Structure 1
Amino acid sequence: MTFRIGLALWSLGRTYSFEDLKRQLGLARDIGVEGVQLWAVDYSADAPCLLDPDRCDEKCRREVKEIIDSYGLEISGFCAQLSGTKGIGGLDDPEGLKWRIEKTKKVLELASEFGAPIVTAHPGLIPDDPKSLGYRIIRGSISEIARYAEDLNACFAIETGMEPTGTLRTFLEDIGSEGLGVNFDPANLLRYGVEEIIRGVRELGEWIVHTHAKDHNPKTGKATVGEGLVPWSRYLEELRSQGYDGWLALEDETGVDVLNSLRRGRDFLHSLISSL
């Protein structure tokens, strides 16, 4: 087995309609990826997402699957990125918490129906102190979601970056659920230093079920894979040594020359994977 190059489809814009989906899938195919990760919650109250489970009924889901199949692409997983009153995630925010938990469960159901039962998200900040109120709130939320994921044979994958990887590992061990995993994004960890990426793979290896592939160049602000600070060769070798050889989903949310960035990133990864 070897790594597979995918694409976080929202890098190409928002998916409001079937027409948007077709346009984005066509571009994904042209870039040369094998699969796509799909955004599956409304972008905001007045910006509906085609795949939001409260909107995309059985007929919609069937049509989406047929369209994706027609482009010769697979689905690597889904993203259910929500926000609370305090910021991104919201699973640490009591206000509106029940709604966010239920929405996440619905996306897990949708992902299972599509045969790609991985749902990724930044759930909110996990505090270092397990006795803090914030920790108890987010632990309760994610424990409930994880139990639901287990029942579906699905996985809620916490994306790296909001806290050090050691804190995330302790949290995962504390909950101890097979319905929990990690979506590893190396660029998100650069705030803690380059070595946090390699250390993070070692600490979280057994939980990694999906990854995002993006970079960060502090001089240009670009996210093009292979043109920033992420040590890609060491990173992929460490992933493999930990038993992960699944999806590397390209992601570029900069909005600047994205198509060219994704093509260069795809070519870089393809060449690097071939040399490992």
Structure 2
Amino acid sequence: MAANMVQPWKIGVIVDSFRVGVREGLVKARNLGADGVQIYAVEGEMDPANLTAAARKEWKDYIASQGLTITALVGDLGGHGFQDRAANAAKVEKSKRILDLAIDLGTNVVTTHIGIVPEDRNGPIYAAMQEACAELSRYATERNAYFAIETGPETAAHLRSFLDGLGSKGVSVNFDPANMVMVTGDDPVQGVYTLRDYIVHTHAKDGIRLREIDPRLIYGSLGFEPMSHEKLAEQASTGDAFREVPLGEGGVDWDRYLAALRDIGYDGYLTIEREVGDDPEADIAAAVKFLRGK
């Protein structure tokens, strides 16, 4: 390859974005020319508790038969993330089982939300989150794997500070530029440089911010109820605070953002996530085409 040539991006798709089930979603991802897929693994047919060793091998072989690899599993357990110390033991255990499944299926990344990192570094919520994430980080590091926190609930600088306190990089970052644009108003390009030591996976999504909004309304927080899923979907589609839009139509400066990822040496997946819209398959097809042009 000529010295001035760069490797094309590896493109993934969250199969659940097709809203048709995992097996059919895998076929659709293959037909659209994706290289890999991300799969929810919290409940239902992909819940680790429901998959024997034989079933895991069957899934791995089937995914490979479609010419796909797994970019990551989604292991977001919802609620307040790891803000509630009383609930953390069960959540940490479930997260570990999802990571075990990921390794069995051939990936070493599980993306998740840990809850909004509070500003008060000396408070009980911050301490509970650090304790849980430090345990998860050690578990992942021992297995050469990662729990990847999705960006958005807090600024990149604040997230970086939290991660630096964990003692290892088994908890790292799933970089979602649209969440930063829509929620915190943070600059994704600068965010890449701020979090450069932790980025192990990315979501390809775009959005616009119309006004400031309390991140707790979106992500929830201990003692604070977020919008319902229905209200959140409505906000993302037609709301007055932010909107998720097709790639290239929002506030993410894709040329500068992708240049920053290349600059820090990131060569992982750009995994397309589409959470709104009446025709997700068409939107995902357009997103694959858009990223192939970069």
Q: What is the TM-score when the length of structure 1 is the normalising length? A: 0.88
In the other structure, the counterpart of 2:120 is: 129
* Count of paired positions: 256
Q: What is the TM-score when the length of structure 2 is the normalising length? A: 0.83
5+ residue gaps, structure 1, are: 15-19, 43-48
For residues 1-276 of structure 1, what are the structure 2 equivalents within 5 Å?
1-13=7-19, 20-42=21-43, 49-84=44-79, 87=80, 90-190=81-181, 191-193=183-185, 196-217=187-208, 221-272=243-294
Question: In the TM superposition, what is the alpha-carbon distance from 1:217 to its structure 2 partner?
Answer: 4.5
Alignment-mate amino acid for residue 97 of structure 1:
N
* Deviates most, 25-34 or 206-215: 25-34
Deviation string 1:103-126 (CA, Å, 9 cap, x unpaired) is 000111111122201011011111
Question: In the TM superposition, what is the alpha-carbon distance from 1:213 to its structure 2 partner?
Answer: 0.3
**DSSP-derived class of the 2:197 partner:** helix
**DSSP-derived class of the 2:276 partner:** coil
Question: In the TM superposition, what is the alpha-carbon distance from 1:10 to its structure 2 partner?
Answer: 1.4
The whole-number CA distance in structure 2 between the counterparts of 1:22 and 1:112 is 20
The whole-number CA distance in structure 2 between the counterparts of 1:173 and 1:93 is 21
Alignment-mate amino acid for residue 39 of structure 1:
Y
RMSD, aligned α-carbons = 1.6
**DSSP-derived class of the 2:252 partner:** coil
Alignment-mate amino acid for residue 244 of structure 1:
Y
Checking the alignment, whether the CA contact within 8 Å between 1:6 and 1:247 is kept in structure 2 is yes
Q: Where in structure 1 do 4 or more consecutive aligned residues deviate above 2 Å?
A: 217-223
Deviation string 1:32-79 (CA, Å, 9 cap, x unpaired) is 11100111111xxxxxx2111111111211111111111111111111
Checking the alignment, whether the CA contact within 8 Å between 1:2 and 1:245 is kept in structure 2 is no
**DSSP-derived class of the 1:175 partner:** coil
**DSSP-derived class of the 1:50 partner:** helix
